[in-house]
Chains A and B, each alone.
Chain A
Amino acid sequence: MDQVVLFRNLAESIDANVLQEQRYLLLLDGLKTTIVISIGAIALGSVLGGLICRMRMAGRSGLVVPAKAYIGIIRGIPLPVMLLLAYYVVFASVNISPVWVAIATFAATFAAYAAEIYRAGIESIDPGQREAGLALGFTRVQTFTHIIAPQAVCRILPVYKGEVINLVKMTSVVGFIAVQDLTRTADIIRSRTFDAFFPLVMVAGLYFMISWLLLMALTGLENRLQPRRLSRQRSSGHD
């Protein structure tokens, strides 16, 4: 009997929180916004992070000092404050969608952390690898792309994955600048249906799903890049 009651309650909850007033459209919109901001910020931030890492490791103080300052400042300011600063101060006079402001802010933040993750990965490669590359006749750039980078990526990915998940979860504060993301949507539904439990748990589940999918994708990439796998592929491809 209890199970029947439980099932009926669940059906009622879904009906009230998802179906009535076409709330699933609201939810989908929120989900889309969260994904767009996350993916945009990760893509942009990863590239920007590479640039900052390059500056940070340049060895010339003209490049190193700005990079260090950037990383230090970004890491020292809470993300919601950054977001508000970007929206109400930096982009105040520009007519721009708050979603773009969010992507820019998260990308800028992600870049600072990514730069340090890249640097740790690159510096963990034995300098002898670089010397061997140069001695063989590779240029500096070729040595980096053919020898250092492929090895560094394998060491960067495990930490990078963590940072990616972190970013997805941090996007939940975009409600501060009136972006209707997943979290904000759940809150709106809660205020309409006076049911706190169901929409929040549902959204928590959705965040978990996004993180999990990203994690799986990156783990797949990580496994594909393992030297063992590569050598097996190569050898089987030739036999």
Chain B
Amino acid sequence: MIEIQNLSMRFGNERVLENVSASIQEGEVVSVIGPSGVGKSTFLRCINRLETPQSGHIFIGGEDILDPGADVPRIRRKTGMVFQSFNLFSHLTVLDNLTIGPVRILNEAREEAEARSHVLLRMVGLGEKALSLPCELSGGQKQRVAIARCLSMRPKVMLFDEPTSALDPTMVSEVLAVIRRLTREGMTMVIVTHELNFARDVSKRIFYMDEGGIYESGPPEQIMSAPQRERTRVFINRLRSFRYHIEHRDFDVFEMNADIETFCEKHFFSRTLLQHIQLAIEKIVAFYYQRGDSGAITVTLSYSETEGTVQLQFEDQEAPGDFLTDAEVGDESAMTLLKGLVRDIVWQPSPKGNRITMTLNESGS
């Protein structure tokens, strides 16, 4: 149905999409997820050429909408787009919003268009709102009208650009219910969304977008439960991380502690947990430099919002050696203290040197 080939898009000097290719089958529902600002919406808007990319081809039902000589309005009619901000025609009633396309573009008779529009409005649960103006509707109702307006043009593909992002939480479900209904009817859909659970439920495939393209794609089970690539994992588990590079044993410990404090405050860590994190870092760094290492250490503090776990990771570039097990007698008390702070602590060799990973006791209790 949709065949995207080597799509590249720049805004000024900023590369948004680079050499993106994808193909979407008829009847397939594809969700596009990813962090803000990675070009999800731009990607979707290229499909009906609301954005014109610098290069690439997009075939919709065999016709290239990006071809310079393409009859863009005609090819666009095969797609319907639902916007984040609804964009209902505010000077027209709900009914006229639905009939204007069929009557003016498809040259349908008004009576026929109105009859069909009433059916569509009932389908989205708004049969009684036909004569209301958009400004008299709630957000959820507006978005359902917007979906019905698209359907009035009998599109082959529906494009959803964050359809629930501008809605109150209480209205999200009514819109999602309508979209679910469309999936049951076999409509081909591309949905840009932040509702990960919804994406998992309705899609046949998920595109995770990052780094200017489709970073990882696959069935929902794979993307949601067993992502294969690093950034997908970070996004799915909603990992928040903080990294600090210690260059030398005389590093600015106050600066590091202040940065950690800011990070902890941002994620509402308890005071105790903050102290534990700082203490653990202090002890580990002390181990390093006692051993006589003088090189750099990278400290990564990460927090998974879905699992609620806080992890610390230390990486160095020294010769491999597990100093946790061969700690000298003098370090024993420090080691005991450290073990009291963490749930587990693991040493492993890393490609460049050593890596120590520890999971802190939950919320520092």
Binding site for B on A (CB under 8 A): 126, 128-129, 131-139, 142, 146-147, 150-151, 154, 227-228, 230-231, 234-235
Contact = CB atoms under 8 A, between A and B. Distances in A.
Contacts of A139: 73
Contacts, number: 76
A201 B130 CA distance: 55
B91 A151 contact: yes
B133 A135 contact: no
Interface of B: 48, 50, 73-74, 76-77, 79-81, 83, 85-93, 96, 100-101, 104-105, 131, 133, 146, 149-150, 153
A132 B83 CA distance: 8
A227 B133 contact: yes
Given A128-B83, A234-B96, A137 B73 contact: yes
A136 B106 CA distance: 11
B133 A228 contact: yes
Contacts of B77: 136-137
Contacts of A132: 81, 83, 87-89, 146
Contacts of B92: 227, 231
A69 to B, nearest CB: 28
Contact of A138 (B85, B90, B91, B105): B105
B192 to A, nearest CB: 14
B50 A138 contact: no
Give the interface SS of chain B, mostly helix, strand, loop or mixed. loop
A113 B96 CA distance: 34
Contact of A135 (B74, B76, B91): B76
A211 to B, nearest CB: 29
Contacts of A151: 89-91
B76 A134 contact: yes
10 contacts: A126-B87, A131-B87, A132-B146, A134-B50, A134-B76, A137-B74, A142-B105, A228-B133, A230-B91, A231-B93
A228 to B, nearest CB: 7
Given A132-B88, A135-B81, 7 more contacts: A126-B87, A128-B87, A132-B87, A134-B50, A136-B153, A137-B76, A227-B93
Contacts of B73: 134, 137-139
Given A134-B76, A135-B81, A234 B87 contact: no
A136 to B, nearest CB: 5
Given A135-B48, A151-B91, A146 B81 contact: no
A126 B134 CA distance: 14
